[in-house]
Structure 1
């Protein structure tokens, strides 16, 4: 009975956006994250249904087929071939269904489109640098924001525009992710990883490194501010007007990251 109560509670509130409905996931603020949220919810519902059926069989069968009088002996069945075939084949079907759905969602969220914004994200010991090399206001130069151990950098993105993160690292493996976007990816030295995000709501969201990257991993924090297109252009213009945020280097954040960028452009 308790299992049915849990399942019923989990399936309620379809018109709301509650923590229970999302099974612990944060509020999703990206187009790609919605697909991941639905996969997460579907997996939990399938697991709850499986759990309810399993507990019902474990508890219900002994109760239903129990000995009801001293003279009565319950049927002594040594095996039931149809049931044994069912509980052998059904888990295989579940694994295939989960795998198929996961691959489908993965292909959807990693499907590259023509980006509106390209940001070169460099994870270095022990902070982040966000490069905007295609900024029109910078006259062909690269503008960037770089954090330090005492300063958390802020990544600024326009709302309802596809942003592509080109991930680079000059030192160790990091992992770039924003919980509100439900996406993250490893930042590996010598590897050109990337993924795209389309933010769907303005606001400021926390981001962090998801990889234990060393002694000061806890400092690998950043924020993401999603703004209107007009405010985004003002932000870029402000960066371009600040000499401390303009560089002749294609990307700032590390020698190996610069070498990767130069190789791509060459």
Structure 2
């Protein structure tokens, strides 16, 4: 019995799927989107630190995925049934068992190491003279409060689920965030900046970064915090330093 037609059909189907996926990817995404793997480049100082780790993780996952697919498909085609003869049965293969135990451990250890290094860099606390602005971020069910500490007279901006607040940031100036919660655990998350920090009741977390690109970016809570969790949204508006100072002045005058 010949299996060549079946092999050809499978190969054609695989080629069609791969080609279709590649065309869809290349036509729907810009070069920057592809290289950034879904995240904009240099939108913040955190992107510069996190993006290489994100790219490396996907490359590692791709290599492991392809290798695993080859291992799965190899016996499907190479050792498919060719007759009634029972193939040789192997009970143990110690070298293979050692390999598939050690290799995943090495992969996890390497990813853990680079993650720890990047996380330490992201959460590093700078000296006071290196910080341009300080903002308190308070999460509550189910919205946000932003207080601009470098201007004590400025009121606290409080949002609601129906009217999410806007966090205004100056481009190119380092901002320190004091992150708190008044009730349950929340997650202060700005996806475009590749950054997230938990709002913990009774614990103040600190986060610092510099916004590098003028624009408006979505933010949200990414930790399930109750009935209206999905409505716990906010916007981040990055403006020029002069526009930021004007915004703060207007808040003080309000």
Structure 1 residue 75: deviation in Å? 5.9
Structure 1 residue 233: deviation in Å? 0.9
Aligned length: 232
The 3-state SS of whatever aligns with 1:190 is coil
The 3-state SS of whatever aligns with 2:137 is strand
Runs of 5+ consecutive residues of structure 2 not aligned to the other structure: 1-10
1:185 aligns with 2:197: yes
CA distance in 2: counterparts of 1:48 and 1:193, whole angstroms:
34
Contact 1:181 1:197 in 2 (8 A): no
1:131 aligns with 2:143: no
Structure with the largest fraction of helix: 2
Q: TM-score, normalising length from structure 1?
A: 0.75
CA-atom RMSD in angstroms:
3.0
Report the counterpart of residue 30 of structure 1 in structure 2.
Answer: 44
Picking from 29, 50, 58, the partner of 2:72 is 58
Deviations along 1:108-145, one digit per CA (max 9) or x if unpaired, are: 2112223211101112233211111222xxxx534332
Q: Rate the CA distance shift 1:81–1:175 in 2: closer, same or farther, 3 A.
A: closer
CA distance in 2: counterparts of 1:48 and 1:67, whole angstroms:
30
CA distance in 1: counterparts of 2:89 and 2:228, whole angstroms:
63
Report the counterpart of residue 115 of structure 2 in structure 1.
Answer: 102
Report the counterpart of residue 115 of structure 1 in structure 2.
Answer: 131
Report the counterpart of residue 16 of structure 1 in structure 2.
Answer: 31
CA distance in 1: counterparts of 2:76 and 2:94, whole angstroms:
19
CA distance in 2: counterparts of 1:186 and 1:94, whole angstroms:
27
Structure 1 residue 219: deviation in Å? 3.1
Picking from 216, 224, 239, the partner of 2:236 is 224
Deviations along 1:27-61, one digit per CA (max 9) or x if unpaired, are: 25111123323222221221121121122122224
Deviations along 1:181-224, one digit per CA (max 9) or x if unpaired, are: 11111111111112112111000111111122223323321111
Deviations along 1:132-184, one digit per CA (max 9) or x if unpaired, are: 1222xxxx534332223432211111111111111122222221111111111
Report the counterpart of residue 257 of structure 1 in structure 2.
Answer: none
CA distance in 1: counterparts of 2:229 and 2:112, whole angstroms:
32
Report the counterpart of residue 168 of structure 1 in structure 2.
Answer: 180
Report the counterpart of residue 262 of structure 1 in structure 2.
Answer: none
Q: Rate the CA distance shift 1:210–1:60 in 2: closer, same or farther, 3 A.
A: same
Runs of 5+ consecutive residues of structure 1 not aligned to the other structure: 243-266
Q: Rate the CA distance shift 1:78–1:221 in 2: closer, same or farther, 3 A.
A: closer
Q: TM-score, normalising length from structure 2?
A: 0.79
Contact 1:121 1:165 in 2 (8 A): yes
Q: Rate the CA distance shift 1:211–1:84 in 2: closer, same or farther, 3 A.
A: closer
